[in-house]
Structure 1
């Protein structure tokens, strides 16, 4: 008897996509800031490799019962699993970490804010999904809100941004993750833990030779408090918790609607800056958050969308 309410609570949470939309942008906002902060101390490929390896090892004990049931299905669908692993695990964060070593966190967040539009484009390219005019307006309004936060209400700040090699790495990373998000509907029907652990381990295996090359080229990973703390954070929060929640939301809402949650990254970044850095609330915080909220409501107002599963 005592276990039923807790189980029911977990089920209700697992089936409420609007709650599932929150963890990924919250933890990914920290991921971009941290990736920039430790760029000189932690090699990018090593950070990505150990992120996925540690994340898989942490989750493995919880995933084992499901893996025993799901391995046969996953072997049968190995091609789509590899196809999802390359852009979503091996490429996205590795490219982002490389890029953050050569550009600012502001540029990184600005480029990442374009990802919902990329997801819509990928969904159309792969599956001919379309959006209604109202949904397109919602995406545009939400993007405007994200740019308001990123620019701190100063359009000139965006006009003065100059793309460099680091920005191109991040742009390529965002294209890769947009493809991953759109293709998630093709993942085999296995438990989320099984899918996460297998793709994390497969992604780490893909990165291993590049990490060895990185170390031999003069950038070996140094085990310091900074590097261990950074790997611990990215393994648990933007990896395990964010990917589980985001992938589940895509299954429930579809790629296009879930992708809009990425516009919450500058929202959470602004809130974290107020809480931990002493930044004072400004008019652009309220304007940006209001525009993002209005855009999400517009883009998700119709229960039947062409991109839902």
Structure 2
């Protein structure tokens, strides 16, 4: 066997082993309960309370419900008191757990000293940093955003500053107790530089990088810190799209994502979203950045929004007719 033949055999072996390991690692995503099991008392063992930001609806509301079902009292936080009170009542009636409501607007400045005071002395075992905003519901170029200066401030305050400040408030208690869970909600669009969602995607990249760096710093302290990057979830931000194999309900997504809590410092939260992430990263950026693709994306979102408005208007007309 000459040297060249030996080289190619060795190279082939390395390639087979490399992709074999990658396939094995990916296959674990298909069976999370087997590969990443959590005991029934896992969450309640972290601490008495869970804190969920942006929990008046959507993914945040679903996290609050699931954690209460796991035996935790929950602190729910958002800017709409009426919605929070309704969620608090539903959680209390359904699970019997205590619910603390904190009304706050995460786009504003100088709100965290009051939040810290209200959370003082709570034994917080889980923090879910879910709150986030889109610069514009209809995707658009950066300079086309309405009230751009205020939009920049709002996105940074809500999507970036809030997460870091909430970690600053709650992480010390977890470090002292040597246990805790922090889940930071990123987004699938942060998988690549994403035109028309440039500011939003960039803010979610920060969420991911911050989370993974923080996990490296505090993993030895017994704390799990994970970035969760979903794609389609049927929420207000996604115009309440019809659920299917790709677009999950908030409840289904949250239950799925928590099964991957021990799967590493970043997860897409479900098998289908993991596949979408791999596919998105495999498409050449020149294809994704083509004007035709970007226009198609804008038209798709506009049409979905128009359909939702039309359905809502029709439903309202029908209900008004019934009430007459």
- TM-score category, normalised to shorter length: under 0.3
Q: Identify the structure with bigger relative contact order (alpha carbons < 8 Å, sequence gap 6+).
A: 1
Greater fraction strand: 2
TM-score, normalised by the number of residues in structure 1: 0.26
Question: TM-score when scaled to structure 2?
Answer: 0.25
From the two aligned structures, give the one with the greater helix fraction. Answer: 1
